[in-house]
Amino acid sequence: MRTGPARAANDRRHMPRTRPALLGRLGLPGLLAALMLALLALPAAAGAAQPRASFPDVEDEVMCDTCNVPLYTAESPRADQLRREIKELIARGETKTQIKATLKDRYGPAILAMPADSGFDLAAYLVPALVALGLLALLVVLLPRWRRRGRARPSGDLAGTAALSDDDARRLDAELERFDAR
């Protein structure tokens, strides 16, 4: 009887092949599907944590309260003061929504570049969308009518034009003759 490494190699050859427990239960397609689900869940988990606010991200959503222009384009001492204040709030570790809420509490809702999404301010979001949908619906209704009207009248048909008077017809014939003579 063999002992040592030779026996171990011989014993392994006669042992039945087994799959790892997880792969055996799920199979390769199941394991790949589980891996894909885990990878898809990573961005959702990352999005749940509030990211640290960045100055350009906050600056473009805040108005200068003296210039009445977005803070990123304002050039005034007051705009510089607001920029310093935002940088201090970012240094404290506040999120973008916390910073905007703080500024809104201190200076009122006019400090934010975007209107609130409730009450009358909601119209700023809804009216443009409704106008665009209305124009699209109007186009859907009118375009087939215009196309049918264009097919109903052949392009050579002069039924829609006014008849020429006798004088106009003679002048037209004379002009055409002169034109053809050239």
User: pLDDT per position in the chain (182 positions), as tens?
Assistant: 555 555 555 555 555 555 555 555 556 666 667 777 777 776 655 555 557 788 888 888 899 988 888 988 989 999 999 999 999 999 999 999 999 999 999 998 888 887 666 777 778 778 899 999 999 999 999 988 888 887 766 555 555 567 888 999 999 999 999 888 87
CA distance linking residue 49 with residue 52, whole number of Å: 9
- What is the three-class DSSP state of 93? coil
pTM passes above 0.75: no
37-53 b/e (C-beta count within 10 Å ≥ 16 → b): eeeeeeeeeeeeeeeeb
Tally the residues of the chain. Answer: 182
CA distance linking residue 50 with residue 56, whole number of Å: 17
Phi, psi of 136 (to 5 degrees): -65, -45
Residue type, 41: A
